[in-house]
Amino acid sequence: MREEQFLEEVQYFNSQLSAVIGQKIKCESNKILADALNYIRDTGGKRLRPIICILSAEAVGGSRDKAVSTAIAIELLHNATLVHDDVIDENYVRRKNLSNPARYGEKRAIVIGDLLLGLSCEMLGRCGEPEVMRLVTRAISDIAMGQYLEFTLRLRDLTEATEQLYMEIAELKTASAFMASAEAGAILGCGSEIESENLRNYGKSLGIAYQIQDDVLDICGDPEKTGKSVGLDIKNGERTILVIHALNNSSQAEKAYVEEILMKKREAGSSEIDRVRGILINSHAINYAITLSNELVQGAKNSIEGLENTEAKRKLQLIADLAAQRIEEQAQDTFIDR
């Protein structure tokens, strides 16, 4: 199974998404919505969540056609959360382009996120499955709760940031969309309860792994490859898995400096970010996070081991393998022990 076969899935989904966007723009005179939809279509993205939904339906013996509208709903939901995330994080670059807040201002960006969320619900209503609608709408509230907990954790003492709390936030904020995608696909494909549960676990492990990888790439990613600025988590005072590990494995002086920067007792300029990055490296936090991510990726693959050996299952396993390669492809080698 080669990466080219995953790219075929991306092309297939993009064609389905483009058709829906084209029809929506044709029927609506809302310029803000048109701009937002064109942005989603033109700037691309990995499209992991909708592809997982489609492949999950096929992996349990169902038809991808029945899962397409839900897959599109999930992609629109994901992009809506990115818009709101960029407002909260004051992020001005997304996928090598200006983010929505940078393009339109924060107030209009919030409206754009709300419009995308509304369109997501409209697409979700086409699936005709109440349980799928419940799953995806629950994911919406879980993502919001995860974002809230992550944001409020920035305001609390660093000693309150534990690995367990980090995992809980990562499951809500990031993994919930992966979980809903996989389980919704299984239901739409008429899979058994066991198959649905296994696919949900696949989404959970893969989603948390992706959050950990995002944290790593924020510290040591190559902006030309990630399409995002480096060090934003430090500027925003995020309690990432890297920070938590470093605080437990650094000297008192290093801990004090990290606390000083993350609690915003001092402005985090480029030199401060470089010093915090150095502390994270010296504490082996980056390699710890990569190891943890790889364990979760393997756990995702193990979750679907019992599914029938179909092309869809092999593609789901491929997605997990590609996730494990993400750090290798996008990180700057100088920051990681190979």
**Pick from 151, 159, 160: nearest CA to 81:** 151
Percent of the chain whose predicted confidence (pLDDT) is above 90: 66
**Cβ distance 83 to 45 under 8 Å?**
no
For position 202, what pLDDT does the model report?
Answer: 98
**Percentage of residues in the chain having pLDDT higher than 70:** 98
Kindly state whether residue 16 falls inside one of the protein's structural domains. yes
For residue 331, being part of any structural domain is answered with: no
Asked if residue 330 is part of any domain, the answer here is no
Q: Has residue 30 been placed in a domain?
A: yes
Report pLDDT for 157: 86
Q: How far apart are CA 11 and CA 5, in angstroms?
A: 10
Nearest to 229 by CA among 41, 97, 38: 97
The DSSP code sequence of 129-198 is -HHHHHHHHHHHHHHHHHHHHHHHHTTS-GGG--HHHHHHHHIIIIIHHHHHHHHHHHHHTT--HHHHHH
What CA–CA distances, in Å, run from 133 to 121, 139, 140, 185, 187?
A: 9, 10, 11, 12, 11
279 compared with 104, residue with greater pLDDT = 279
113 within some domain: yes
Question: Is position 40 within any domain?
Answer: yes
> 328 in a domain, yes or no?
no
State the average pLDDT over residues 315-337. Answer: 81
20-78 pLDDT, tens digit each: 999 988 887 778 888 888 888 887 788 999 999 999 999 999 999 999 999 999 999 99
Taking CA atoms, 320 is separated from 226, 294, 302, 311, in Å, by 18, 9, 10, 14
- In the predicted model, is pLDDT for residue 331 greater than 80? no
Report the CATH number that the domain containing residue 278 is assigned in CATH.
1.10.600.10
- pLDDT by residue (tens digit) across 199-251? 999 999 999 999 999 999 999 888 877 777 788 899 889 999 999 999 999 99
3-state secondary structure of 221: strand
12 band by pLDDT with thresholds 50, 70 and 90: very high
pTM above 0.85, yes or no: yes
324 vs 329: CA distance, rounded Å = 10
* Residue position matching structure tokens 């979750």: 303
Evaluate if residue 337 carries a pLDDT over 90: no
Domain that holds residue 274: 3-323
pLDDT at position 192: 97
pLDDT in tens, 243-297: 999 999 999 999 999 999 998 877 778 899 889 989 998 999 999 999 999 999 9
Q: What is the DSSP letter of 331?
A: B
The count of C-alpha atoms lying within 13 angstroms of the C-alpha of 12, restricted to the half-sphere facing its C-beta, is 17
Q: What is the pLDDT of residue 161?
A: 92
Higher pLDDT, 267 or 1: 267
User: Could you tell me if residue 250 is inside a domain?
Assistant: yes
> In total, how many domains does the chain have?
1
338: pLDDT strictly greater than 60: no
